[in-house]
Chains A and B, each alone.
Chain A
Amino acid sequence: MNAIVISAIWGVIMMFSGAFSKNLKTVRALSIVGIALLFVVNLLELYGTHLFTVDTKGMLQFDSFGLLFNAIAIGSTAVYFLLNGRDMEKVGLHVAEYYALIFFVLCGISIASSFSSLLMLFLAIEIISIPLYILTGADKRNLKSNEASLKYFLMGAFSTGIMLMGICLIFGAKGSFSIEQIALGDGTLTPMVGAGLLLLMFSLAFKVSAAPFHFWTPDVYDGAPTVFTSFMATIVKAGLFIAFIKLFGDAFGELHGQWQTLIAIITAATLIIGNLTAVFQQSVKRMLAYSSIAQAGFMLFSLVALNGMGREGLLYYTLAYSIPTIGIFAILVRMKDYTFEGFNGLAKHQPVLAAVTSIFLLSLAGIPATAGFMGKFYMLSAAIQNGHVMWLVIIGIICAAISVYYYFRVIQAMYFKEGDAQELETSSFHKGLLVLMAAFVIFIGIQPQWLLNQLYTFFS
């Protein structure tokens, strides 16, 4: 509850900060204070200090899994704020409102990680989505941004409608919104629950951009201002995944055997379409959009496996995917040219930037000794532990191999091609932060047990 209340209140504070202070530095400082406060109150809740005692009538349940996920999401947002604070100011005039919207999204993510009623699930998904439609269209003078925003809004509204229909059918069959009530049953899939489950699965697959519901993703991620694409593709996507796995694990876990094949097919399609299409992209930003679809395919493994390893793996993967992607986007914002050619020869005059970009890309590709490798390892071993989907594991490995090609194209452009990559001034603070992030990616890559030990201590 701490994180939900504080993030909503801090969103309001950010709104007022824009009205009362014309100084962007104050706004930026306030956002950092807010995110730090949010992190602290969430940790406090993890250790048993509840600042707010609210009787939620069983609609919200706070467990260490959700709170731990909150900690990762809030921590990544803190890194995101530190890296992108100045670039956000270049998007438009309403900087304070952008921060407010991001705090509201965090409120939605905190609900998504703790809901135990379909009503709260719906509210969480909407609180996450609506600010994103606006952030996508924040660059008002840019037609591509407008188009992306409208497209995202229409498709998102449609998928929300599908989700409501699913919730309706499930309510009709079970007579309750409560996850516990829905989970009760003799393990047979009745037609009405089946239809509701399908609709819920499709709408959530749309939200996490799983194929074949991924068509909005490249256009929206490409059209949105790059700073906000970075937020949407990492923290928000992981938050939606938590809602997805919580719903299907807690409410429909008993029926797992009956929808496992379907979700496995969705996973395979996501992996294949995401990776193969990414190969043909000319723009690094669009390539990253497809790569985020491909990475979503790997995150879906936790849903296919639906075991302890999958859940812990998802937490690990969230971090192992978010940090490098935020880093790459932060560097991409500073490039004048978003095509692969734009990166030609970057290593010559910006060796530090090129080196950290390489580490981030290696991590996304899943090269050993980086966080990405261990993330993929946990996901694949969760699926192997489950044992029913060996074909999917093979597809996953092949797709991971394909992904190496398009990630290495950027590295090749930076190190082995002649050219003069144009980039904006990067302050030494940014460089230091990027180096720290790269060091962290390597650290949790070679010491994954450190992070997982932290997880186990909390789980026990």
Chain B
Amino acid sequence: MSATVFLFYFLSVLALGSAIMVVVSRNPVHSVLWLIATFFAISGHYILMNAQFIGIVNLIVYAGAIMVLFLFVIMLMNMNADSEPKKNKWLKLAGVVSGGCLLLVMVAALKSAEVKGQLVQMKDGDIGLIANLGKALFTDFVVPFEIASVLFLSAMVGTVVIGKKGD
């Protein structure tokens, strides 16, 4: 077993395990901390695929900014294991059934998927390097890049409309 393969399995187990812990933890703060572990594991995957830029951005944006936001919200709402509302038994059952159905479809889809054998290039793919990524972003993908600005602008306008005092 080479180091890359070992790392891959290690990170996969870490990512899946902490993702499961996010869902089963009763304390919201623990959930958030497990989520951070998940993001670190996923960033590790990106770096394994030689996509350093997206790995670092994933850490900065998700594990950094968004998780701090999460923690603040949890702190402000003063949530803990005791204040968690009791959930309806039938609702839980419905959730398990629908989630299970999705899992079944996914497993069925990926079991005989046509990508078998042509896995991601582990070492020599270099599209994830920041120079190549920048080039692709400003040549091939410049139209969606510019149009995304309309999306962000409308989100910003919305923040002002919702957040502004006075009415």
Across-interface contacts of B167 in A (CB, < 8 A): 92-94, 140-141
Interface status of A130 (Cβ within 8 A of chain B): yes
Interface hit among A55-63, A255-263, A377-385, A419-427: A55-63
> How far is A145 from B82 in the complex, measured between Cα atoms in Å?
30
Interface hit among A97-105, A228-236, A238-246, A273-281: A97-105
> How far is A93 from B141 in the complex, measured between Cα atoms in Å?
38
**Beta-carbon contacts under 8 Å, A53-78 to B:** 54, 56-57, 59-60
> Nearest chain B CB to A184's CB is how many angstroms away?
14
Interface hit among B25-33, B71-79, B85-93, B105-113: B105-113
Across-interface contacts of A56 in B (CB, < 8 A): 143
Is there an interface contact between B140 and A123, defined as CB atoms closer than 8 Å? no
Residue in contact with B161 in the complex, picked from A12, A126, A134, CB distance below 8 Å: A134
**Beta-carbon contacts under 8 Å, A128-149 to B:** 130-131, 133-134, 137-138, 140-141
Interface status of A24 (Cβ within 8 A of chain B): no
Residue in contact with B144 in the complex, picked from A92, A123, A134, A194, CB distance below 8 Å: A123
Is there an interface contact between A133 and B158, defined as CB atoms closer than 8 Å? yes
Across-interface contacts of B105 in A (CB, < 8 A): 195, 198
Across the two chains, which residue of chain A brings its CB closest to B155? Answer: A130
> How far is A108 from B115 in the complex, measured between Cα atoms in Å?
33
Interface centre among B112, B144, B164 (most CB of A within 10 A): B144
Interface hit among B11-19, B46-54, B146-154: B146-154
Across-interface contacts of B151 in A (CB, < 8 A): 123, 126-127, 130
Interface status of B166 (Cβ within 8 A of chain A): yes
> Nearest chain B CB to A117's CB is how many angstroms away?
8
**A94-B161, A97-B160, A134-B158 are contacts. A173–B147 as well, Cβ < 8 Å?**
no
Interface status of B3 (Cβ within 8 A of chain A): no
> Nearest chain B CB to A368's CB is how many angstroms away?
42
Please classify the interface of chain B as helix (H, G, I), strand (E, B), loop, or mixed, using the class held by over half of its residues: helix
**Beta-carbon contacts under 8 Å, A160-174 to B:** 169, 172-173
> Nearest chain A CB to B152's CB is how many angstroms away?
9
> Nearest chain B CB to A11's CB is how many angstroms away?
7
Interface centre among B147, B148, B155, B160 (most CB of A within 10 A): B147
Residue in contact with A192 in the complex, picked from B114, B141, B148, CB distance below 8 Å: B114
Residue in contact with B150 in the complex, picked from A11, A93, A138, A192, CB distance below 8 Å: A11
Across the two chains, which residue of chain A brings its CB closest to B110? Answer: A192
Across-interface contacts of A195 in B (CB, < 8 A): 105-106, 108-110
Is there an interface contact between B150 and A140, defined as CB atoms closer than 8 Å? no
> Nearest chain A CB to B154's CB is how many angstroms away?
4
Interface status of B1 (Cβ within 8 A of chain A): no
Across-interface contacts of B160 in A (CB, < 8 A): 94, 97
Is there an interface contact between B150 and A8, defined as CB atoms closer than 8 Å? yes
**A93-B167, A94-B164, A192-B110 are contacts. A123–B147 as well, Cβ < 8 Å?**
yes
> How far is A123 from B147 in the complex, measured between Cα atoms in Å?
8
Interface status of A4 (Cβ within 8 A of chain B): yes
**A97-B161, A101-B158, A131-B158 are contacts. A11–B111 as well, Cβ < 8 Å?**
no
> How far is A123 from B144 in the complex, measured between Cα atoms in Å?
8
**A119-B144, A140-B167 are contacts. A190–B154 as well, Cβ < 8 Å?**
no
**A191-B108, A192-B114, A195-B105 are contacts. A130–B166 as well, Cβ < 8 Å?**
no
> How far is A271 from B155 in the complex, measured between Cα atoms in Å?
34
> Nearest chain A CB to B103's CB is how many angstroms away?
11
Is there an interface contact between B161 and A191, defined as CB atoms closer than 8 Å? no
Across the two chains, which residue of chain A brings its CB closest to B163? Answer: A140
Across-interface contacts of B141 in A (CB, < 8 A): 57, 119
Interface status of A15 (Cβ within 8 A of chain B): yes
Is there an interface contact between B153 and A11, defined as CB atoms closer than 8 Å? yes
Across-interface contacts of A107 in B (CB, < 8 A): 150
> How far is A50 from B82 in the complex, measured between Cα atoms in Å?
62
Across-interface contacts of A120 in B (CB, < 8 A): 143-144, 147
Interface status of A111 (Cβ within 8 A of chain B): yes
**A130-B151, A130-B154, A191-B109 are contacts. A173–B115 as well, Cβ < 8 Å?**
yes
Is there an interface contact between B109 and A194, defined as CB atoms closer than 8 Å? yes
> How far is A218 from B150 in the complex, measured between Cα atoms in Å?
29
Is there an interface contact between B144 and A131, defined as CB atoms closer than 8 Å? no
**Beta-carbon contacts under 8 Å, A384-419 to B:** none
Is there an interface contact between A15 and B147, defined as CB atoms closer than 8 Å? no
Is there an interface contact between A100 and B147, defined as CB atoms closer than 8 Å? no
Across-interface contacts of B106 in A (CB, < 8 A): 195
**A104-B150, A195-B105, A195-B106 are contacts. A140–B162 as well, Cβ < 8 Å?**
yes
> How far is A130 from B161 in the complex, measured between Cα atoms in Å?
13
Across the two chains, which residue of chain B brings its CB closest to A124? Answer: B147
> How far is A295 from B106 in the complex, measured between Cα atoms in Å?
33
> How far is A15 from B161 in the complex, measured between Cα atoms in Å?
11
> How far is A198 from B108 in the complex, measured between Cα atoms in Å?
13
Show 10 A/B contacts (Cβ-Cβ < 8 Å), sorted by A: A56-B143, A57-B143, A59-B143, A93-B166, A97-B157, A117-B144, A120-B144, A123-B148, A134-B162, A191-B111
The 8 A-B pairs of least Cβ separation, nearest first, read A134-B158, A195-B109, A104-B154, A191-B109, A93-B167, A56-B143, A192-B113, A94-B161
With A59-B143, A94-B164 given, can you name 15 additional A-B contacts, CB distance below 8 Å? A8-B153, A57-B140, A60-B143, A93-B166, A97-B160, A98-B161, A101-B154, A120-B144, A123-B147, A140-B167, A141-B167, A169-B109, A173-B113, A191-B110, A192-B109
